[in-house]
Structure 1
Amino acid sequence: MPFTIKRALQWWARERADELALSVDGAPCTFAALYDWSARIGAFLQARGVRPGDRVSMVAMNSLSYAALIFGVMRIGAIGAPINFRSTPSEIAAAFEALTPSLVLADEERMAAVRDAAGDITVLSLHEIEALRECPSVAIAHEPAPDDAAFIIGTSGSTGRAKGVVYSHRTVMTYAAEFAITQPLCGAGSRVFSPGPFSSSSGYLLLNEFIALGATLFIESQFRPERALDLLVGEKITTFQAAPIFFERIAALPAFAGADLSSLHFAQAAGARVPPALLRTWQDKGVVLRHAYGSTEAGGGWAAQLDTALSAPEKCGRGGMFTEYAIRGADGGFARAGETGEILVRSACLTPGYWNNPEATCEAIKDGWLHTGDIGLMDADGNLTFVDRLKDIIISGGLNISASEVESVINEVEGVSEVAVIAARDADFGETPLAIVHGDASRFTVQAIIARCTEKLARYKTPRYVVIEPAPLPRLPSGKISKPALRERYGDAGARLQKVR
């Protein structure tokens, strides 16, 4: 019997046919309806020439039609290749060049930008997917294999060139099984709030994971803290996984103090260091907020077990049943307990590799270990503590931003000699880009820098803070700009600098 997402969906469509599988912005869909709808979508895609192994890209905000499309693509052996809905036409075009999709679907708000970028690629509206919801049933003969690619998730690298992380049916199902075995209350019948966009692993992976487990997912097209708290309370959510900023914004609401969160069994924060005060705030509500570590390439994230979350909440735990951590020391070998070094991950959930990029795959995965580019340390019990990122990545609202990508755009502005982009603390998004620029200030303005970024980059990547330095930026002995020095200099930028947009 194939160990696939399709088989899991088929099982729950029979065993929990009339139970709620999904609710997106309040629009419901049962397991049986999702299974039937996804078959009609698959037949629709096949009629338009989509074959097993073809990439189907989506550029849209979360919606029920989008979720059904994800399973329709999977049913016929095609590969889902979502693109961030905030992307500019040039970013979309670059994604199309890397992914070479045979078909693209977009929502109305992004249709013009997608058509501008698509060239000869066929572009369809998500409205056509919605129209298939109540059509006659069809049968899909294709049966995916466990090691077939199911979807590709883009990830920002420190070089600025995005890479596509491949997820196979086996890696997704192994991740789901590992989670269900170690957290049995989070499986079939659990109620999950998932705020991540489908263009990220926090959206696309979690959708597949929890549908495969027979859970009910509550998903929103955009995160609003008031709505999130209403869902947690009103829908008696049992599982909530998100970046720390989402937990922070919910906790900041006046209504949080009186909210009944007694149903929330498993709360996981990942993607950035979790402030101790945030851990205490949720624990005061009776919710143990578990610090987690993971990455797109690792196939997911793993939270601390309850003993660690209670006794040492700053630690990320020991990995999973089929996942282990190690620390690479300065000599290239495994570091001893308490020594800081690069975090390594070895897992049955590990990506098979980057899409059409064997060189990057070989560089990242060596001897079965993923070299994450993050810094951490482990204690004698194997509990990991995340320290910092080696990779030059800013995480804003749970989305990764390559500092190098933003720097390359600002360097195009006439008169700019050097630029460094670092993270500034932000109350709404956790982090936001801060650009520190040096050059001939008579030839450029802050407004010109923002205009160039707005033209070339998605809005969330455009710096909210810009500093023009009269002196050259500090350098390391290697000649590289010293970002540690700049981070120290501008550690309080969010408090003392004025936002430029």
Structure 2
Amino acid sequence: MRIIDFFDRGAAIAPDREALVSAGHSLTYTEARTLTCRIAAALVARAGGDPAAVGTVAVWSPNHALAFACLLGGVRAGGVWAPINARGHADDNIDFLDTADCRTLFIHSSFAGYLPRIRETVPTLEDVICIDGPLDGVLSLDDLLNQAEGLPVPDLRPDPNRLAALFPTGGTTGRSKAVRLTEGVWTALIAITHAAMPPADRPVYLVAAPMTHAAGAMAFPALAAGARVVIIERADPLEVMEAIDREKVTDLFLPPTVIYGMLGHPRLRDFDYGSLRHFIYAASPMAPDKLAEAIRVFGPVMAQTYGQAEAPMLCTFLSPAEHAAAAADPALVHRLASCGRPTLLTRVEIMDDDGNVLPRGERGEIVVRGDLVMAGYHKRPEATAEVSQFGWHHTGDVGWMDADGFVYIVDRKKDMIITGGFNVYSAEVENVIQGHAAVQNCVVIGVPDPKWGEAVTAVVEPVPGAEVTAEELIALCRSKLGPVKTPKSVLFEEALPRSPVGKILKRAVRDRFWSGRDRLV
């Protein structure tokens, strides 16, 4: 199957239903399909009539229905989708356009000021199309559509090995790599999603986080079910809560940081969440105490997925039923700290540094095999080989698996703290601190210390208006974790640094303490 085949399935079963909805714009499935066909026909014509020559197609726009339609038109043409985050730093976005060998760029007029730098930096760029109207020196979307008049619509044969997308790895520690995701990877992602979370009869999926990341990826399974995909510009807690109530949302994805913001919002209880079936979260585990609170507020709908750009979204899954059972049974409550069990088309194991698969209960690196795994990094064979040792994809995450097959992430491999000769996994400490009612978010890092080598340190973002002391949090950790894992100090910040998709940048916090030193551990 091709990505576009899944959208066409939605169009076949719900032709008159709204497919893509955003502020001031709405497209039915029939209208959206017609639009994507015209975009695809014009792109192929501009590539000399050869779909194989369409190359990489990027969309640089805020969350919007037309922007999503443009990316669908690009993949229908046989193009390779390169997501560009509208909230990302311009330098990073332009750099990734170059890394991905972008040939065609759909751009919103609000980013037109970057075009001179884009053209200077990206030698492969041939076409720039303005999504939202005329722009000097740039082809408009209407102009492109007019060029499609009378042209045949491309209909490529399915090929599971054909490159469908190049996803950025994030770039928080250097230049972002481009992850090669094939049609086969997307087919697996959509099939696993439907197996894990069967859609409602008339699903409504909310895109609030950037559509260029997990929120957008999860829209494809929704579209395959004929879902009404409602797109809002940003994941503001109040706007999300209003949209769930107003649009009768059945499914959505958010990172934990936004969910924490919702749980701490004074208007949390003002809205009706009864339509929800799957409230998906990923990017990092949620603190078990706050997860239990979310279940009480939103109902038995919380669903955790685990993956990364190289093996997207659904390597493991913790279902709503498993969440609810764990929250209700003291003997199972520990499972709220799990990211679930391996999904239908994925094998997950725990491995040591020598390539040995470890027994249940032992800690090591989480490794993955299966149809979700990427086809490597674009033009980076050495990096591909490094993460593919011993025939497995190496996630860089440290974890363990219990006797029932539930996977627990304890840290990023590089974020382990060694203090006084003992290993401390920061996620364990973060989960304890995050469970305090006055804590909105926190990161735990190792900072240079002449005695301990690294001193366990917590940097805390309090709930607005709440009060908590360092002594109180240190005492909490000591009672739960013992002296070795207890932070030596607790610092407070009004807001922790976040990536454009809302993920807390632990590395940025850590770098403040290690900058200018010869060693980093």
Q: Identify the TM-score tier after normalising by the shorter chain.
A: 0.7 to 0.9
Task: Supply the distance in 2 between the matched residues of 1:353 and 1:90 (Cα, whole angstroms).
Answer: 24
Shift of residue 239, structure 1, vs aligned partner: 1.3
Report how far residue 192 of structure 1 moved: 1.4
- 2:358 alignment counterpart: 335
Q: Distance in 2 between matches of 1:277 and 1:107?
A: 41
Q: How much has 1:344 moved relative to structure 2? A: 1.1
Q: Distance in 1 between matches of 2:252 and 2:356?
A: 36
Equivalent residue letter for 1:166: R
In the other structure, the counterpart of 2:241 is 229
Q: What is the aligned partner in structure 2 of residue 193 from structure 1?
A: 206
Q: Provide the C-alpha distance between the structure 2 equivalents of 1:24 and 1:137, rounded to a whole number of angstroms.
A: 30
**2:369 aligns to what?**
346
State the shift of 1:377 in Å: 0.9
- Aligned-residue offset at 1:166: 1.9
The one-letter amino acid of 2:287's match is: P
Whether contact under 8 Å (2:349, 2:368) holds in the other structure is yes
Distance in 2 (alpha carbons) for counterparts of 1:246 and 1:239:
15
Q: 2:402 aligns with which of 367, 379, 399?
A: 379
* CA 158–343 in structure 1, closer or farther in 2 if over 3 Å, else same: farther
Whichever residue aligns with residue 481 of structure 1, its letter is L
1:314 aligns to 2:337 (yes or no): yes
Sort the Cα spacing of 1:15 and 1:224 in 2 relative to 1 into closer, same or farther, 3 A: same
Q: Residue 209 of structure 1 corresponds to which residue in structure 2? A: 221
What pairs up with 1:384-399 in 2 under 5 angstroms?
384-391=407-414
Equivalent residues in 2 for 1:412-451, closer than 5 Å: 424-426=459-461
CA contact (8 A) 2:278 2:320 kept: no
Residue 285 of structure 2 aligns with which residue?
A: 273
Distance (whole Å) between structure 1 residues aligned to residue 13 and residue 512 of structure 2: 62
Superposed counterparts of 1:34-433, under 5 Å: 34-49=32-47, 51-52=51-52, 54-119=55-120, 121=125, 122-127=127-132, 128-129=140-141, 139-147=152-160, 148-156=162-170, 160-184=174-198, 186=199, 189-200=202-213, 202-285=214-297, 286-301=299-314, 302-309=316-323, 310-311=325-326, 312-391=335-414, 424-426=459-461
The offset of 1:257, in angstroms, is 1.8
Gaps of 5+ in 2: 133-139, 327-334, 417-425, 428-456, 465-496, 498-503
Aligned CA distance change for structure 1 residues 474 and 7 (closer, same or farther; 3 Å): closer
2:483 is matched with none
Contact 2:399 2:407 in 1 (8 A): yes
Quote the offset at 1:153 in angstroms.
1.0
Which shifted more, 87-96 or 349-358? 87-96
CA distance in 1, matches of 2:516, 2:506: 23
Which residue of the partner structure matches residue 480 of structure 1? Answer: 519
Contact preservation (8 Å) 1:158, 1:392: no
For the structure 1 residues 204 and 392, does the alpha-carbon distance in structure 2 shift closer, same or farther, using more than 3 Å as the test? farther
Task: Report if the CA contact (8 A) 2:169-2:176 is conserved.
Answer: yes
| 2:341 match: secondary structure | coil
Instruction: Measure, in 1, the Cα distance between the counterparts of 2:409 and 2:194.
Output: 24
Contact 1:36 1:137 in 2 (8 A): no
- What is the Cα deviation at residue 318 of structure 1? 0.7
Work out the number of aligned pairs and report it.
419
Give me the whole-angstrom Cα distance separating, in 1, the residues matched to 2:506 and 2:211: 21
Once residues 314 and 89 of structure 1 are traced to their aligned partners in structure 2, the CA distance between those partners, rounded to angstroms, is: 36
Contact 2:163 2:182 in 1 (8 A): yes
Per the alignment, do residues 293 and 466 of structure 1 end up closer, same or farther by CA in structure 2, a change over 3 Å counting? Answer: closer
Deviates more, 1:187-196 or 1:266-275: 187-196
State the shift of 1:391 in Å: 4.5
Residue in 1 that maps onto 2:29: 31
Corresponding position of 1:485:
none
Quote the offset at 1:244 in angstroms: 0.4
Contact 2:203–2:225 at 8 Å: present in 1 too? no
Q: Partner of 1:376: helix, strand, or coil?
A: strand
Q: Which amino acid is the alignment partner of residue 129 of structure 2? A: L
Structure 1 residues 235 and 55: alpha-carbon distance in aligned structure 2, compared to 1, 3 A threshold = same
1:337 CA displacement:
1.5
- Alpha-carbon displacement from aligned partner over 1:414-461 (angstroms, at most 9, x marks no partner): xxxxxxxx99554699xxxxxxxxxxxxxxxxxxxxxxx9xxxxxx98
3-state SS in 2 of match to 1:80 = strand
Q: In the aligned structure 1, how far is the partner of 2:261 from the partner of 2:142?
A: 32
C-alpha displacement of 1:307: 4.7
Which whole-Å CA distance do the structure 2 matches of 1:423 and 1:108 have between them?
42
Give the C-alpha shift of residue 290 in structure 1.
Answer: 3.0
User: CA, structure 1 residues 58+144, in 2 after alignment: closer, same or farther (shift >3 Å)?
Assistant: farther
Separation in structure 1 between the aligned mates of residue 59 and residue 176 of structure 2, nearest angstrom: 17
Distance 1:428 1:346 in 2: 40
Q: Measure how far apart 1:47 and its partner are.
A: 3.6
Change (3 A) 1:174 1:88: closer
| Structure 2 CA distance for aligned equivalents of residues 105 and 158 of structure 1 | 25
Does the CA contact (< 8 Å) of 2:6 and 2:220 recur in 1? no
CA contact (8 A) 1:316 1:385 kept: yes
C-alpha distance in structure 1 between counterparts of 2:508 and 2:177, whole Å = 25
Matches of 2:511 and 2:341, distance apart in 1 = 41
TM-score by length of 2: 0.72
SS in 1 for 2:47: coil
Show structure 1 runs of 5+ residues with no match.
396-421, 430-452, 454-459, 483-501
In 2, Cα distance between equivalents of 1:4 and 1:37: 18
Q: 1:58 to 1:336 in 2, by over 3 A?
A: same
Q: Which amino acid aligns with 2:5?
A: R
CA distance in 2, matches of 1:100, 1:151: 12
- In 2, distance between residues paired with 1:473 and 1:140? 55
Report how far residue 26 of structure 1 moved.
Answer: 5.7
| Structure 2 counterpart of 1:417 | none
Deviations along 1:55-105, whole A, 9 cap, x unmatched? 112222121111001110011101111223244454344223312211222
Deviations 1:178-210 (A, max 9, x none): 2212322x266321122231332x134223232
The Cα offsets for residues 111-152 of structure 1, whole Å up to 9 and x where unpaired, read as 111332222534331133367789978641331533221111
> TM-score by structure 1 length?
0.75
User: What CA distance in whole angstroms lies between the structure 2 residues aligned with 1:182 and 1:86?
Assistant: 30
Measured in 1, the distance between the counterparts of 2:311 and 2:129 equals 33
Per-residue deviation, residues 370-393 of structure 1 (Å, max 9, x unmatched): 100011111001100111112569
Name which of structure 1's ranges 164-173 and 129-138 shifts more when overlaid on structure 2: 129-138
Is the Cα–Cα contact under 8 Å of residues 305 and 313 in structure 2 kept in the other structure? Answer: no
> Which amino acid in 1 is paired with 2:303?
R
Determine the structure 1 residue equivalent to 2:477.
none
In 1, Cα distance between equivalents of 2:510 and 2:76: 47
Partner amino acid, structure 1, of 2:235: F
